[in-house]
């Protein structure tokens, strides 16, 4: 581990050359630096594993512009962040901000106890935007399940090789959630992981300078995940981002995959599993436990939900 100590010291020296370091503290498998930035202080952490690999942890940094500057200084990696003020009088007008040549991302299953978490990413350009708009692509929450499946097939044909669907099955979801929790992180980090993965995989297929997602949390969550990939892309997060065609298309693909997997789980366990986290869901989960074991929940549900407590009581 002597090599790790030398690397950490090198990082500390580099930080001291550029910033006002107020405190340096060793933590479990890492080192924390308290950095003074203007009138604020920021905690920045560096971790290492048993193999001696070093990882920068930007998740505690709320200032996205400082995050980008710091990562660029330490690693030569830059993620651009775009902040815009949106006129609320026009926020619901889907034609006011018709961003084209953009990757849109959205997720489905976040609030559903049963089933996977699905994140989709879709690249839309000027040509495909017209086709998608004319075929009724809009926020998936405004569309019935049957129509969702039809639109998803159409989007796949129109945006062939320009989309990805990241499916996080219940068991994988639960393992990831526990892993993030041990690191002091939460659901937003897991969501960011999914969105960042979708953006990265679409970027492997197309060249694009803009990514758009709904503002489910501070953009630092997605940015900190993208940092490791070394991609340079402008990230735009905005409430009601489904008004953009690319995000709407992603929401439809994510919802369609979620519905398909819910149907598959329902067939597998001989029960029409319900969406959401209602009393009916609790009763269905109890039935699954009674007919199997408590461990079955990890394979079909997001066990960190409070629903699990209701199932077991």
- Residues 288, 311 contacting (CB under 8 angstroms): no
Tens of pLDDT, residue by residue over 124-180, are 998 999 999 999 999 898 899 999 999 999 999 999 999 999 999 999 999 999 988
**Phi-psi region at 115: left, alpha or beta (left = phi > 0; alpha = psi -120 to 50):** left
Residue 84, pLDDT score: 41
Tens of pLDDT, residue by residue over 261-291, are 999 999 999 999 999 999 999 999 999 999 8
Place of tokens 């203007």: 38
| Structure-model confidence comparison of residues 237 and 119, the more confident one | 119
- Which residues does residue 20 pair with via DSSP β-bridges, in sequence order? 36
Q: Which of 252, 188, 174 is nearest to 222 (CA)?
A: 188
For 176, the token pair is 């990831």
Domain 96-260 has what CATH class?
Answer: alpha beta
Residue boundaries of the structural domains of the chain: 2-57, 96-260, 272-312
DSSP 9: H
pTM: 0.71
Residue 155, pLDDT score: 96
Which residues, 6 or more positions from 53, have their beta carbon under 8 angstroms from its beta carbon?
none
Instruction: Outline where DSSP puts E strands in 5-152.
Output: 20-27, 30-37, 40-48, 54-57, 80-81, 102-108, 117-124
Which residues, 6 or more positions from 186, have their beta carbon under 8 angstroms from its beta carbon?
180
The residue-averaged pLDDT of 43-49 equals 87
Question: DSSP states of 218-239 as a string?
Answer: -THHHHHHHHTTT---EEEEET
For 183, the token pair is 């690191």
pLDDT of 35 above 80: yes
**Percent residues over pLDDT 90 in the chain:** 51
Residue 201, pLDDT score: 93
The residue-averaged pLDDT of 286-308 equals 94
Tens of pLDDT, residue by residue over 169-182, are 999 999 999 988 88
Give the H/E segment covering residue 167.
Answer: strand 163-168
Q: How far is CA 125 from CA 147, 165, 233, in A?
A: 23, 18, 16
Q: Which of 213, 176, 188, 177 is nearest to 198 (CA)?
A: 213
pLDDT of 90 above 80: no
- Tell me how far apart the alpha carbons of residues 161 and 228 are, in angstroms, rounded to a whole number: 24
């Amino acid at each position: 581990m002597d090599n790790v100590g030398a690397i950490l010291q090198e990082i500390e020296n580099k930080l001291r050359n550029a910033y006002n370091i107020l405190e340096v503290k060793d933590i479990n498998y890492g080192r924390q630096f308290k950095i003074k930035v203007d009138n604020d202080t920021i905690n920045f952490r560096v971790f290492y594993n048993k193999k001696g690999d070093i990882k920068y942890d930007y998740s505690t940094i709320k200032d996205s512009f400082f995050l980008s500057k710091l990562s660029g200084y330490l690693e030569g990696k830059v993620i651009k962040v775009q902040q815009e003020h949106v006129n609320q009088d026009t926020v619901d007008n889907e034609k006011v901000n018709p961003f084209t040549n953009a990757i849109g991302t959205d997720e489905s299953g976040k609030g559903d106890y049963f089933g996977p978490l699905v994140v989709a990413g879709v690249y839309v350009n000027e040509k495909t935007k017209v086709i998608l708009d004319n075929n009724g692509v809009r926020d998936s929450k405004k569309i019935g399940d049957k129509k969702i499946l039809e639109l998803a097939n159409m989007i796949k044909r129109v945006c062939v090789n320009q989309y990805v669907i990241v499916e996080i099955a219940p068991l994988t979801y639960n393992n990831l959630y526990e892993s993030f929790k041990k690191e002091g992180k939460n659901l937003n980090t897991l969501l960011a992981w999914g969105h960042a993965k979708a953006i990265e995989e679409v970027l492997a297929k197309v060249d694009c300078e803009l990514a758009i997602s709904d503002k489910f949390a501070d953009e630092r969550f997605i940015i900190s995940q993208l940092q490791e990939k070394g991609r340079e892309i402008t990230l735009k997060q905005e409430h009601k981002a489904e008004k953009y065609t690319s995000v709407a298309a992603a929401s439809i693909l994510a919802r369609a995959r979620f519905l398909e997997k819910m149907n598959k789980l329902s067939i597998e366990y001989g029960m029409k599993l319900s969406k959401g986290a209602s009393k009916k869901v609790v009763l269905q989960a109890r039935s699954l436990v009674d007919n199997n074991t408590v461990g079955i929940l990890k394979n079909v549900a997001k066990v960190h939900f409070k629903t699990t407590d209701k199932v077991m009581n």
